[in-house]
Structure 1
Amino acid sequence: MTDSPTGTATVVAPPSHDAAARLKAAHRTFWCTTQAGGCGGVLILYVGTVRVPHFQHLPGASPCVLSSRDAAPAYAHLAYQRELTAWLADQGYDARIEHRFDDAGRADLHVLVGGVAHTLEVQLTDIAVDAWQDRDARYRTHVDHVRWLHGPASTTTARTERVTRDYALRIGRDEVGGVRIGVDTTGVEAAIAWVSLAECRMTAAGVWVPQLEAALRNIAARADAARRPAAEEATSRQLRVPQLAALERRTGAHVEPPPGLRTTADWRRLQPDLPLWGPDHPGWAWMREHPVEQHAAGMYLAMTVTRLYFRGAYSMLANPDLPAEVVRSMVEDMTAAGWLYEDTRRAPEPMWRRGERAPAGY
């Protein structure tokens, strides 16, 4: 530090000897600040001719905890605190660094926005899940909102928050050393949406990041897509219950759903030996026109024609998992491919017959 034993004006020893010499001339005294967990003692900026410039305590100084471990994370943490404080000040907010709570230790930054109390926590290293949950819960008993900003080495802790709250905010440095904030919804570094801190804002609702709203929409869409198959399966089973019950009343025994009433799950259970759809097989080219989530159901429709039956009613070419218009489209595709054709012989309902170009052996 260049301001005092308890200061926050962080400087880094430049690797260049000339730059280090200029820094030493500009600031005659440096301190091991207590704000980073140091001893508050005087530091010397050593600028020799062999070793890389570095800070060291005075000879004979009392032992300092930072002398026995890498001090970089502690000073990086302090630098982030100072830059976040300046960012808040530019927006008219007065933040307190290392704010003390009666029973919750110290918060990195404490700030009031429109009467709403916020804690901003910069977490640069991983901590145990239970430790993070305990600190998070204790902070929330004192403030309205807690926002964690996870550094590059806080991957496990960021994942814990992401699983808990669907996303985590990351903090880091850009190519020129500026602070940047990222929205992390997947844990994949390349997928994190980064922006400069200057593009973000502090609001009564918390830290606003430009990409956050789009990320939350994507999270909601993924959650909806994950719920949809289960909901559709439940709906299809409800629709099939009266039909299967009628069949069981007529036969007096348990009835497995026949083709046309089988869901994709039923097909997998009743025909486990059927091969899976293969996108590289030339015979399945027509399937590529349909969404991937419909491929399994479409495969079983096709297997009804190519493997299981030679002739049947069009009503058996259905799957409760698929909308009726999708089934019609798939039947039209198979007809165009020569896998089936309409059987015009007299029958109580429209019938199909396997075509000559229907593939065999798969």
Structure 2
Amino acid sequence: MRGDRRQIQTAVLGSADSEEPLLLPLEAIELGAFRRRHQLDTFWCGLLLGGCGAQLTTKLYTDRVCHFAHHPGPDGQPHMCGRRARGISSADHLYVKSAAVAWFRDRGEEADIAFAQPDGAPVGSLVDITSRHRGLRVHLDQAVEPVWDDDGIEPVLGMSVPVDRDTLIRRWYVHRIRLDSEGTARRVQIGTEAFARPTEWFGLEECEVTERGLTTPAVQRIVASHSAPPPRWTPGRPKKVPTVNAQARALLSQLDDARSLGFVIAARRLCSEIAGLAEVDRETQGRIDAALETTKGWMEDQVELRRSLYAQLDQAVIAQDTQQVRKLFAHVNAKAAHDRTEDEDAIVSRAADHFADVSRATQERIAAKVAADRAAADAITRVANILKNLNRGDYRNLRDQVETLIRYAEVAGDRVTVHQGRQIEAWKQRAGLSSGEEPKEPLDDDGTQQLNHKKPLFRQVARRYWIKRSCPRCLVGNGKDCVIADGTGNGELRYVPHDERLQPILDQRKARLPRR
């Protein structure tokens, strides 16, 4: 089964702003049962999925994975949607919230659960859970760096979020979260990771939230091992104490690692420890002197790099370049978050304000689009009802009724079909609200113009015919679907083939007609 780069595997049920996620089966044999089970439901490209809020349909294929798809536009062209996350994990934040609500409800407790977006992070990166015991922040991706020094909030890391060894040693353990697919849903698993121990996984029913934080059976064992009394001394062979030269070599190796990873604070601490070593041999002292000199130059370079990063971040904020601000903000937090000056704090604060403004503008734009879509949906319903009444002669004042029809048609916009548009024009002429030539096409019995319905080319040629040909427009070979030929070179698949691929088939059919 070949991949489909257009596939949308997740949707929400009922409406665009729904929080009820749904996962589509990948195989055609499972999609049939899925359709029967949800025959009365509607699927939407949810706003909380980063979608456009439009309604979706299911696509069944036997030669590729099944997926959700947008309805084509009125002109038959594919619907354009800016949604980025479309895979199986794109609705995991909704599944996490649903599982957390059920988990607390079963324990007779309540919790506030929100999809936080600090510093302009995309919706779905973070899930904040606040209970009467402790707050949890679930990091499903690396968009926001975990904060380990906040006593009120405990980070829970997704599978792609890294954690360094020092944090594991200092905290004894960290918690992770993963979601496994089960039919058309996702099941939450909690893992406990400790230094030099494999991660142990548990179901939510085995976990608790206490004053200490999130607790699993593994936490109890780890805490017990750290709290156990030391073993009784028994005579034995004396433990070999490493020499000062061996200590120096170990610290020098750690210093090399700190420089290669960009850990300035660790490098500074190691330099202090190395400089405090005494009575090392001449060879080791030479290595120490060289390493300290190299680290001194490296530190100076890091200071210049830090200054450049903050200057670039400030310029990006001034230029209102959101993409560059997001990129530099991540670099600043990763490489230069320690020991900030007042000027650096001010730059970070301005960047955070920029993200807040962008997020607010995005939310307002989404809300305005949802309101416009709802108004258009209501308007097209009223257009259909008014046309129905007009065609039955059910009106008192024709002019007023047609003026109302025109106002609703303007709100409905491109939802008005071609046939409805023809009927509206005919009634405008009948009510004296339109000037110009009389319609050239004859009128139906109800006073509307007859339509010369002509199917688009992709409706006239079956896939089994055109898939055997190459496309002269996008230059794909036979056996492959057409791709978007808009000059961007992104190679995204089209919902329908190009007309240039279909027209030769229709021309051949037309040429054979006289012979028949």
Using structure 1 for the length normalisation, give the TM-score. Answer: 0.50
The answer to which structure has the higher strand fraction is 1
The answer to which structure has the higher helix fraction is 2
